[in-house]
Structure 1
Amino acid sequence: MDAEASTSWPEVSSSGTPSTGHADTALCTWYNIFMRDIFGGLVIVVGLVGNGLTIVIMGRDRRKSSTIRMLFYLAIVDSLILIVYGIIAMPTPLLKLQDLYVEASNHQVISISVLSYVGQTLNQISVLFTLIVTWQRYVSIYIPLKAKIYTSSDNTNKMAVAATLFAVIFFLPNFFHNSFTTDSTGELQPLAEPFSKNSIYQMIYSISLLYLFSYVGPIVALIVMGTTLLQNIRDSFKKKATMKAKEELTLSLVGVILIFIICQSISPLRRILMWVYAPYHIAVQCGNVLFFFGPIYLISFLVNSAANFIIYVLFARGFRRKVFKFIRRNRRVDPVQQFGLSWTLAQNTNGDGGPIETSFVHPC
């Protein structure tokens, strides 16, 4: 699947279905298998394991900190993204390798017209959750007197629900862009609905609003807040040799923001390339100029949803200790002890009227 959620079917395939399966050379076939199935599969496995550990560790203490609560929610959404985009990316090259071109074509049709929109909806939720957790961290540092109100558990849950509802409602029209028919060979043929081909609709909704809410707005906000948070970390580090737990948490969020910006930038870059190398579905075919770029769009979503756990392990010492402790305890033979784990989390106040916040640091 090489189509973006905002891309109309006439832009994807002039013949109605993704083509080029029979024309793939060995290099093209194995490049797709490596990128989508081998590398993509590895990212999915690592991401699901990492997000699973994050859910277990942070889920136990999500009631003690709004930041931990949002990171817990974010790990759940990222896991769903890995599953959906894994289903989109992996089957097609394997089906083509077995000469199942009708099945591969049908999988591409379903992926482009249905699954991609599910993935885009989940990605929008992930974008908003990242924005919320960064804003909460910003408030707790720079507006501490308001932090207790703004980052309370109730407000955190309300923001998470509102972000989810907004993403679902915003992407809902995409699911009605196409209807389907089947030709004599058994291949699904998408039929674009008239409203989805309207140039005004595409310009306002599929391009302007989509990138405003999914990329431009969040990226600008994250850059501003991330830069400010990073400056706070630098100032704190100059005053002392080591960082406290809350500063490690802030540094972890800065790392999440950086990976987010890099991975999410692939989508607007792809849109620009679609304009420059129109028609795009020809440009990404085997042997053409954008063939090697094609799978990177999908891989960027996988990497973005799998990277957070690695960032937490690298920058948050307490979280890293808890991961190792969890792994060691689950290696024990006695299964009874696994259900009697005692998870003691250090708590600290920000010292300036902010809320009590669960840290990643194991108590000494």
Structure 2
Amino acid sequence: MLPCWDFDQPDDPYFRFRESARFWTQRILLPIVFVIGLIGNLVTVVVLTRRRMKSSTNTYLTALAVSDIVYLSVFFALSYSHYPDAHSEDSLIYWKIWPYLLWFNDASTGVSVWLTASFTLERYIAVCHPLRGRVFCTESRAQKVITCVVLFCAIVTVTTPLEWQILTVDRPENVTTGPDSCIIADSSELATNEFYKTFMYFFWNSVFIFIPLVILIVFNSFLIHTVHVSRKQRNGLTQAELGGGSMRQKQENKITMTLIGVVIFFLVCQLPAGITWIVKVFYDPPPNTSGHYLLLGFGNIFNFLVTVNAASNFILYCALSDKYRKTLIMTFFPCCVKPVDTNTTLTTYASFRHSTKYRVPSLKENGFKDKVQL
């Protein structure tokens, strides 16, 4: 169905479902989520790059926030195609860059998936194999992994713009009202090639769904078990037996639980879209049929869930990480920091650096006389 001219809409409940899903997700909810997510992820980047937050884990989370910013911005730009008059000749420039927006969308989605898998593996090594963690869980190694992930995802999705061709269609003879022409995006010859379609379906399902899913489920199970055992051991100790080692383990558990929460929320939001992609391998109904409308309707809803995931990680950090909340307050609301007469040090175990201890900066630097108890 051409989007520029008014045709009789099919009397199909699945068509109405698709239109309703598209309206509410793309035109009502998405702008709200975009603004919240953009602000939240920008705040996260600022907080996680503070000196006191430096760690290999936070290096991954900073990269994830940047990837989420790219995804949210691109997805919001793509939503314009569902607005009235988006297919008019006035929007020709938009449609020229539209295939490349799809490329950035696919690449940033892949980056988010593999960054989540990467910090899950890193956390597993740090918690379950701490001696190896001193070698592998470093900021410099995390930066190298992030670079490799970004390059890999950009390269394997580089054919996305080639799957589309932008066409200008003249007004049909049986239509007397509306614009003289309409700009549409149609599948290219490459996209309709059966070998290419089959290869890309299975490649995407394997590399961006199945393999990361196995990594996340398996290694998060190990992490959850390790945290559970650690808490049972701590509960069995007396107050006198609780020492520095126990406090260090408690801090490790907090970091691990934060990342487990991020991964679980990631799976809840990403799995439906992944399942829909797999379903399309075996069930790809012709255009303008009930099955086609149904898949598009659910696709809009599930893609919106991915957007919610990209916009909401900072909420999880605030809810689960005391250190994130305190750093956020110290960064953006220094007047709210209450000075106390305590001289202390803060120890971080999120990554194994040359020295894991560093002094909390004097509050003279923040306009106070004493130091703050974090």
| 2:60 paired with 1:65 | no
d(CA) in 2 for partners of 1:252, 1:149:
23
- Determine the structure 2 residue equivalent to 1:10: none
- Determine the structure 1 residue equivalent to 2:197: 202
Post-superposition Cα deviations, 1:79-108, rounded to whole Å, max 9, x if no partner, equal 11111111112x345x32xx6663799799
Q: Contact 1:22 / 1:101 at 8 angstroms: preserved in 2? A: no
3-state DSSP class of the match of 1:278?
coil
Q: Displacement of 1:52 after TM fit? A: 1.4
Q: Which moved more, 1:24-33 or 1:109-118?
A: 24-33
3-state DSSP class of the match of 1:250?
helix
3-state DSSP class of the match of 2:181?
coil
Alignment of 1:97-112 (within 5 A): 102=88
Equivalent AA in structure 2 for residue 58 of structure 1: L
Which segments of 5 or more consecutive residues in structure 1 lack a partner in the other structure? 1-14, 333-343
- Determine the structure 2 residue equivalent to 1:232: 226
- Determine the structure 1 residue equivalent to 2:121: 135
- Determine the structure 2 residue equivalent to 1:84: 74
Q: Which moved more, 1:219-228 or 1:318-327?
A: 318-327
- Determine the structure 2 residue equivalent to 1:220: 214
| 2:251 paired with 1:245 | yes
Q: Contact 2:89 / 2:183 at 8 angstroms: preserved in 1? A: no
Q: How many equivalent pairs are there?
A: 329
Aligned CA distance change for structure 1 residues 358 and 169 (closer, same or farther; 3 Å) = farther
3-state DSSP class of the match of 1:293?
helix
Aligned CA distance change for structure 1 residues 77 and 347 (closer, same or farther; 3 Å) = same
d(CA) in 2 for partners of 1:51, 1:304:
11
| 2:108 paired with 1:114 | no
Q: Displacement of 1:298 after TM fit? A: 2.5
Q: Which structure has the bigger radius of gyration?
A: 2
Aligned CA distance change for structure 1 residues 64 and 92 (closer, same or farther; 3 Å) = closer
Among all aligned residue pairs of Structure 1 and Structure 2, give the percentage whose two residues are the same amino acid. Answer: 22
- Determine the structure 1 residue equivalent to 2:42: 52
- Determine the structure 1 residue equivalent to 2:161: 175
Equivalent AA in structure 2 for residue 41 of structure 1: P
Q: 1:163 aligns with which of 149, 154, 157?
A: 149
Q: Contact 1:277 / 1:283 at 8 angstroms: preserved in 2? A: no
| 2:268 paired with 1:278 | no
Equivalent AA in structure 2 for residue 195 of structure 1: L
3-state DSSP class of the match of 2:256?
helix
- Determine the structure 1 residue equivalent to 2:175: none
- Determine the structure 2 residue equivalent to 1:323: 328
Q: Displacement of 1:331 after TM fit? A: 8.8
Aligned CA distance change for structure 1 residues 129 and 294 (closer, same or farther; 3 Å) = closer
Aligned CA distance change for structure 1 residues 312 and 21 (closer, same or farther; 3 Å) = farther
Equivalent AA in structure 2 for residue 239 of structure 1: Q
d(CA) in 2 for partners of 1:127, 1:245:
26
- Determine the structure 2 residue equivalent to 1:124: 110
Q: Displacement of 1:191 after TM fit? A: 5.3
Q: Displacement of 1:324 after TM fit? A: 3.3
Post-superposition Cα deviations, 1:141-174, rounded to whole Å, max 9, x if no partner, equal 1121111221223221111111111001100112
- Determine the structure 2 residue equivalent to 1:151: 137
3-state DSSP class of the match of 1:279?
coil
TM-score, structure 1 as length reference: 0.77
Q: Displacement of 1:75 after TM fit? A: 0.9
d(CA) in 1 for partners of 2:305, 2:81:
18
Q: Displacement of 1:29 after TM fit? A: 6.1
Equivalent AA in structure 2 for residue 279 of structure 1: P
Q: Contact 1:64 / 1:357 at 8 angstroms: preserved in 2? A: no
d(CA) in 2 for partners of 1:87, 1:106:
14
d(CA) in 1 for partners of 2:6, 2:347:
57
Equivalent AA in structure 2 for residue 346 of structure 1: L
| 2:168 paired with 1:186 | no
d(CA) in 1 for partners of 2:353, 2:87:
59
Which segments of 5 or more consecutive residues in structure 2 lack a partner in the other structure? 10-14, 171-179, 236-246, 338-343, 361-371
Q: Displacement of 1:273 after TM fit? A: 4.9
Post-superposition Cα deviations, 1:291-337, rounded to whole Å, max 9, x if no partner, equal 642421331221121121111111112212222343423899xxxxx
d(CA) in 1 for partners of 2:255, 2:119:
11
Q: Contact 1:252 / 1:312 at 8 angstroms: preserved in 2? A: yes
Q: Displacement of 1:59 after TM fit? A: 0.9
d(CA) in 2 for partners of 1:346, 1:22:
66
The alignment yields a C-alpha RMSD, in angstroms, of 3.7
- Determine the structure 1 residue equivalent to 2:241: none
Aligned CA distance change for structure 1 residues 358 and 102 (closer, same or farther; 3 Å) = farther
Q: Displacement of 1:213 after TM fit? A: 0.9
3-state DSSP class of the match of 1:172?
coil
d(CA) in 2 for partners of 1:212, 1:262:
19
Q: Contact 2:4 / 2:88 at 8 angstroms: preserved in 1? A: no
d(CA) in 2 for partners of 1:45, 1:345:
37
Q: Displacement of 1:133 after TM fit? A: 1.1
| 2:260 paired with 1:254 | yes
- Determine the structure 1 residue equivalent to 2:243: none
Q: 2:301 aligns with which of 296, 303, 319?
A: 296
d(CA) in 2 for partners of 1:297, 1:199:
26
Aligned CA distance change for structure 1 residues 68 and 100 (closer, same or farther; 3 Å) = closer
TM-score, structure 2 as length reference: 0.75
